[in-house]
Every structure is written in C-alpha cells, then in structure tokens.
C-alpha cells in the first residue's frame, strides 16, 4: 500500500471565502468527484440544516469556518486498507474464528485458523512481512 496517493485536503478541491458582513463561510467546490465525501464529512461536523447548498457546487455555513480547509476529504491509503480487510474477512472460511492481525503501516497480514495459532505461524508471517519490507 506504499504507492497509494496522498490524502486530499478540502482546500485541494474547493475554494473558501468568508463574508464578514453576512458572517458566512462560502465554499465553492472545484472537483465534483469529492462532493459526496465533502458532504459526508461536513454532516459529521454540522447538522444538515446548518449547511446551505444553493447549487451543486456551492456550500454555505454560518460563521467563520476557514479552518475547514485543512480537513481531510479523501484518504486513499485508508480506503484501500479498509477494502483489503473487507476482502480478507470475506475470503476467510467461516470456521476460522481465531484471528491474529499482524498488519503494519503498509502491509496487511492476518493469520487465521480454526484451532490455536502456533508460534511458528506467527514467525512465518513476520518473515513474510520482513521480506515485503525489504522488497525481495
């Protein structure tokens, strides 16, 4: 997962302005592809009633919220990791109830079995992780 794209910040896909007279932060979305992620993040921070959306590309919030420019809108690394874990747990046989996650920052590694996990399996998993880290 080392080669995933960098995180996308709100300021990367939108322009922010603050109107002092109206006390409103106006957000003009440049990249429509990120609009669902933007709205999802904003709905976590504010109620839907607090976000005025006069058209598809424009959002308005009462108050000065220019600090939202640093909000992470998309994290490809995290998205990929979540999708890999989803695939791993779908592939695991139903009887494999004993699971040990040995994942690191860029490597997903899961040892699973229907019996007790042996130390040799853990050691072998660490060997695979080391091999991947060393690029062999």
Q: What is the pLDDT of residues 9-30, one digit of tens each?
A: 999 999 999 999 999 999 999 9
Residue 16 makes CB contacts below 8 A (sequence gap 6+) with 10, 25, 26, 27, 66, 68, 69
Taking only Cα atoms into account, the Rg of the chain, rounded to an integer number of angstroms, comes to 22
Q: What is the pLDDT of residues 84-130, one digit of tens each?
A: 999 999 999 988 999 999 998 888 999 999 999 999 999 999 999 99
pLDDT surpassing 60 at residue 136: no
The pLDDT, as a whole number, for residue 6 is 86
Q: What is the pLDDT of residues 43-64, one digit of tens each?
A: 999 988 999 999 999 999 999 9
């Amino acid at each position: 997962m080392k080669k995933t794209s960098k995180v996308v910040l709100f300021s990367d896909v939108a322009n922010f302005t603050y109107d002092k007279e109206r006390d409103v932060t106006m957000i003009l979305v440049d990249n429509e592809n990120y609009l669902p992620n933007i709205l999802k993040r904003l709905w976590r921070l504010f109620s839907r009633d607090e976000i005025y959306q006069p058209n598809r590309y424009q959002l308005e919030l009462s108050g000065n919220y220019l600090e939202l420019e640093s909000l992470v809108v998309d994290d490809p690394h995290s998205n990929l990791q979540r999708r890999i874990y989803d695939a791993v747990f779908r592939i695991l046989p139903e009887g494999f109830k004993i699971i040990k996650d040995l994942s690191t920052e860029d490597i997903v590694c899961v040892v699973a079995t229907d019996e007790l996990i042996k130390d040799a399996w853990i050691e072998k998993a660490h060997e695979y992780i080391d091999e991947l880290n060393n690029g062999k």
